[in-house]
Homo-oligomer: A and B are copies of this chain.
Amino acid sequence: MRISRKPTGEKFFELFTEIGRNIGASVELLRTFVRAPVEQRAELAERMHALENAGDDATHAIIQHLDRSFVTPFDREDIYRLASTLDDVVDHMDAAVDLATLYRVGELPDGVAAQTDLLCRAARLTAEAMPRLAEPQELTAFWVEVNQLENEADQVYRRLLSELFNGQRDALEVMKLKDVVDELEAAADAFEHVADAVHSIAVKEA
Protein backbone atom coordinates (compact mmCIF):
# COMPACT_ATOMS: atom_id res chain seq x y z
CA MET A 1 0.00 0.00 0.00
CA ARG A 2 1.34 3.38 -0.94
CA ILE A 3 0.29 5.96 1.58
CA SER A 4 -0.75 9.19 -0.10
CA ARG A 5 1.26 12.20 0.92
CA LYS A 6 -1.61 14.52 0.02
CA PRO A 7 -2.96 15.32 3.50
CA THR A 8 0.30 16.37 5.13
CA GLY A 9 1.53 18.08 1.99
CA GLU A 10 -1.59 19.93 0.79
CA LYS A 11 -0.53 23.35 2.05
CA PHE A 12 3.02 22.96 0.71
CA PHE A 13 1.78 21.89 -2.73
CA GLU A 14 -0.59 24.87 -2.87
CA LEU A 15 2.19 27.31 -2.02
CA PHE A 16 4.62 25.79 -4.54
CA THR A 17 1.89 25.92 -7.22
CA GLU A 18 1.37 29.60 -6.45
CA ILE A 19 5.12 30.23 -6.76
CA GLY A 20 5.16 28.37 -10.09
CA ARG A 21 2.38 30.66 -11.38
CA ASN A 22 4.26 33.71 -10.14
CA ILE A 23 7.41 32.62 -12.00
CA GLY A 24 5.30 32.24 -15.15
CA ALA A 25 3.99 35.81 -14.79
CA SER A 26 7.50 37.15 -14.09
CA VAL A 27 9.01 35.60 -17.18
CA GLU A 28 6.20 36.91 -19.39
CA LEU A 29 6.90 40.39 -18.06
CA LEU A 30 10.62 39.89 -18.71
CA ARG A 31 9.89 38.99 -22.35
CA THR A 32 7.83 42.16 -22.72
CA PHE A 33 10.60 44.18 -21.08
CA VAL A 34 13.44 43.10 -23.35
CA ARG A 35 11.41 44.04 -26.44
CA ALA A 36 9.82 47.23 -25.03
CA PRO A 37 10.85 50.78 -25.97
CA VAL A 38 13.33 52.27 -23.48
CA GLU A 39 10.79 54.79 -22.12
CA GLN A 40 8.49 51.99 -20.88
CA ARG A 41 11.20 50.24 -18.89
CA ALA A 42 10.76 52.05 -15.56
CA GLU A 43 7.09 51.11 -15.32
CA LEU A 44 7.71 47.48 -16.33
CA ALA A 45 10.56 47.29 -13.79
CA GLU A 46 8.13 48.37 -11.07
CA ARG A 47 5.69 45.66 -12.06
CA MET A 48 8.50 43.10 -12.00
CA HIS A 49 9.44 44.24 -8.54
CA ALA A 50 5.86 43.69 -7.35
CA LEU A 51 6.03 40.10 -8.65
CA GLU A 52 9.34 39.61 -6.88
CA ASN A 53 7.73 40.78 -3.62
CA ALA A 54 4.81 38.39 -4.11
CA GLY A 55 7.31 35.56 -4.62
CA ASP A 56 9.14 36.55 -1.43
CA ASP A 57 5.90 36.40 0.54
CA ALA A 58 5.09 32.91 -0.75
CA THR A 59 8.62 31.74 0.03
CA HIS A 60 8.38 33.05 3.59
CA ALA A 61 4.99 31.36 3.94
CA ILE A 62 6.57 28.02 2.97
CA ILE A 63 9.47 28.43 5.37
CA GLN A 64 7.17 29.43 8.25
CA HIS A 65 4.87 26.50 7.47
CA LEU A 66 7.95 24.26 7.43
CA ASP A 67 9.22 25.55 10.76
CA ARG A 68 5.79 24.93 12.30
CA SER A 69 5.03 21.54 10.75
CA PHE A 70 5.77 18.37 12.63
CA VAL A 71 5.18 16.13 9.62
CA THR A 72 6.32 17.17 6.14
CA PRO A 73 5.74 15.46 2.76
CA PHE A 74 9.48 15.40 1.94
CA ASP A 75 12.72 15.91 3.84
CA ARG A 76 12.73 19.37 5.38
CA GLU A 77 15.99 20.34 3.71
CA ASP A 78 14.58 19.40 0.29
CA ILE A 79 11.53 21.65 0.84
CA TYR A 80 13.79 24.45 2.01
CA ARG A 81 16.10 24.00 -0.98
CA LEU A 82 13.23 23.94 -3.48
CA ALA A 83 11.73 27.13 -2.01
CA SER A 84 15.09 28.95 -2.02
CA THR A 85 15.98 27.99 -5.58
CA LEU A 86 12.55 29.06 -6.88
CA ASP A 87 13.03 32.37 -5.10
CA ASP A 88 16.43 32.82 -6.77
CA VAL A 89 14.87 32.54 -10.24
CA VAL A 90 12.68 35.62 -9.77
CA ASP A 91 15.40 37.51 -7.86
CA HIS A 92 17.75 37.23 -10.84
CA MET A 93 15.08 38.22 -13.39
CA ASP A 94 14.16 41.22 -11.23
CA ALA A 95 17.83 42.20 -10.93
CA ALA A 96 18.31 42.01 -14.74
CA VAL A 97 15.31 44.29 -15.35
CA ASP A 98 16.37 46.62 -12.57
CA LEU A 99 19.95 47.03 -13.79
CA ALA A 100 18.91 47.56 -17.43
CA THR A 101 16.64 50.37 -16.23
CA LEU A 102 19.06 51.91 -13.73
CA TYR A 103 22.01 51.90 -16.16
CA ARG A 104 19.86 53.36 -18.95
CA VAL A 105 21.35 50.88 -21.42
CA GLY A 106 20.26 51.32 -25.02
CA GLU A 107 18.72 48.58 -27.15
CA LEU A 108 19.62 45.13 -25.88
CA PRO A 109 21.62 42.75 -28.12
CA ASP A 110 19.53 40.08 -29.92
CA GLY A 111 20.99 37.33 -27.77
CA VAL A 112 19.11 38.73 -24.77
CA ALA A 113 15.77 37.90 -26.40
CA ALA A 114 17.09 34.38 -27.03
CA GLN A 115 18.11 34.07 -23.35
CA THR A 116 14.62 35.18 -22.35
CA ASP A 117 12.86 32.71 -24.64
CA LEU A 118 14.76 29.87 -23.00
CA LEU A 119 13.84 31.17 -19.54
CA CYS A 120 10.23 31.21 -20.71
CA ARG A 121 10.35 27.54 -21.64
CA ALA A 122 11.95 26.61 -18.31
CA ALA A 123 9.31 28.65 -16.46
CA ARG A 124 6.49 26.84 -18.26
CA LEU A 125 7.93 23.43 -17.33
CA THR A 126 8.36 24.58 -13.74
CA ALA A 127 4.81 25.95 -13.44
CA GLU A 128 3.51 22.61 -14.76
CA ALA A 129 5.68 20.58 -12.39
CA MET A 130 4.76 22.35 -9.14
CA PRO A 131 1.15 21.09 -8.87
CA ARG A 132 2.47 17.56 -9.45
CA LEU A 133 4.95 17.51 -6.56
CA ALA A 134 2.80 14.95 -4.76
CA GLU A 135 3.98 12.41 -7.36
CA PRO A 136 7.66 13.38 -7.52
CA GLN A 137 8.74 10.15 -9.22
CA GLU A 138 6.82 11.27 -12.33
CA LEU A 139 8.90 14.45 -12.53
CA THR A 140 12.14 12.97 -13.87
CA ALA A 141 11.29 14.25 -17.40
CA PHE A 142 11.08 17.75 -15.92
CA TRP A 143 14.60 17.43 -14.59
CA VAL A 144 16.00 16.22 -17.92
CA GLU A 145 14.28 18.94 -19.96
CA VAL A 146 15.32 21.82 -17.68
CA ASN A 147 18.90 20.58 -17.80
CA GLN A 148 18.78 20.57 -21.61
CA LEU A 149 17.43 24.13 -21.61
CA GLU A 150 20.22 25.20 -19.28
CA ASN A 151 22.78 23.78 -21.72
CA GLU A 152 21.16 25.76 -24.54
CA ALA A 153 21.13 28.88 -22.36
CA ASP A 154 24.84 28.38 -21.74
CA GLN A 155 25.56 28.38 -25.48
CA VAL A 156 23.50 31.54 -25.99
CA TYR A 157 25.26 33.20 -23.05
CA ARG A 158 28.71 32.35 -24.38
CA ARG A 159 27.87 33.74 -27.84
CA LEU A 160 26.59 36.91 -26.15
CA LEU A 161 29.80 37.32 -24.14
CA SER A 162 32.00 36.99 -27.19
CA GLU A 163 29.78 39.50 -29.03
CA LEU A 164 29.94 41.96 -26.11
CA PHE A 165 33.74 41.85 -26.08
CA ASN A 166 34.30 42.00 -29.86
CA GLY A 167 35.46 45.61 -29.64
CA GLN A 168 32.35 47.29 -31.12
CA ARG A 169 31.21 48.70 -27.76
CA ASP A 170 33.00 50.95 -25.31
CA ALA A 171 34.06 49.48 -21.99
CA LEU A 172 31.37 51.17 -19.84
CA GLU A 173 28.61 49.89 -22.13
CA VAL A 174 30.10 46.37 -21.99
CA MET A 175 30.15 46.50 -18.17
CA LYS A 176 26.50 47.52 -18.05
CA LEU A 177 25.29 44.94 -20.56
CA LYS A 178 27.38 42.21 -18.96
CA ASP A 179 25.71 42.85 -15.59
CA VAL A 180 22.28 42.40 -17.22
CA VAL A 181 23.26 39.33 -19.23
CA ASP A 182 24.94 37.74 -16.18
CA GLU A 183 21.72 38.05 -14.17
CA LEU A 184 19.75 36.32 -16.94
CA GLU A 185 22.33 33.54 -17.05
CA ALA A 186 22.06 33.24 -13.27
CA ALA A 187 18.27 32.86 -13.69
CA ALA A 188 18.85 29.96 -16.12
CA ASP A 189 21.24 28.38 -13.60
CA ALA A 190 18.64 28.87 -10.87
CA PHE A 191 16.10 26.88 -12.92
CA GLU A 192 18.64 24.06 -13.08
CA HIS A 193 18.96 24.21 -9.29
CA VAL A 194 15.15 24.01 -9.01
CA ALA A 195 15.22 20.92 -11.21
CA ASP A 196 18.02 19.41 -9.10
CA ALA A 197 15.97 19.96 -5.95
CA VAL A 198 12.96 18.22 -7.54
CA HIS A 199 15.20 15.42 -8.80
CA SER A 200 16.63 14.85 -5.37
CA ILE A 201 13.07 14.47 -4.01
CA ALA A 202 12.18 12.10 -6.87
CA VAL A 203 15.23 9.87 -6.32
CA LYS A 204 14.35 9.35 -2.66
CA GLU A 205 10.82 8.24 -3.66
CA ALA A 206 12.02 5.85 -6.35
Report A's interface with B, CB cutoff 8 A. 63-64, 67-68, 77, 98-99, 102-104, 158, 161-162, 165, 167, 170-172, 174-176, 178, 200, 203-204, 206
Residues A175 and B174 in contact in the complex (CB < 8 Å), given A68-B203, A158-B102, A161-B102: yes
Q: Which residues of the other chain, B, contact A103 by a CB distance below 8 angstroms?
A: 161-162, 165
Q: Are B63 and A200 within 8 A (Cβ)? A: yes
Q: Are A204 and B67 within 8 A (Cβ)? A: yes
Q: How far is the CA of A77 from the CA of B75 in the complex (A)?
A: 13
Most chain B CB within a 10 A radius of its CB, from A64, A162, A165, A204 = A165
A sample of 26 inter-chain contacts (CB < 8 A) reads: A64-B203, A67-B200, A67-B203, A67-B204, A68-B206, A77-B77, A98-B158, A99-B161, A102-B158, A102-B161, A102-B162, A103-B161, A103-B162, A103-B165, A104-B162, A165-B172, A165-B175, A165-B176, A167-B172, A170-B171, A171-B172, A171-B175, A172-B174, A174-B175, A175-B175, A175-B178
Q: Which residues of the other chain, B, contact A167 by a CB distance below 8 angstroms?
A: 172
- 18 further interface pairs, Cβ-Cβ under 8 Å (given A165-B175, A170-B171): A64-B203, A67-B200, A67-B204, A68-B203, A68-B206, A98-B158, A102-B161, A102-B162, A103-B162, A103-B165, A167-B172, A171-B171, A171-B172, A171-B175, A172-B174, A174-B175, A175-B175, A175-B178
Q: How far is the CA of A172 from the CA of B206 in the complex (A)?
A: 50
Name the distance in Å between A178's Cβ and chain B's nearest Cβ. Answer: 8
Most chain B CB within a 10 A radius of its CB, from A68, A175, A178, A204 = A175
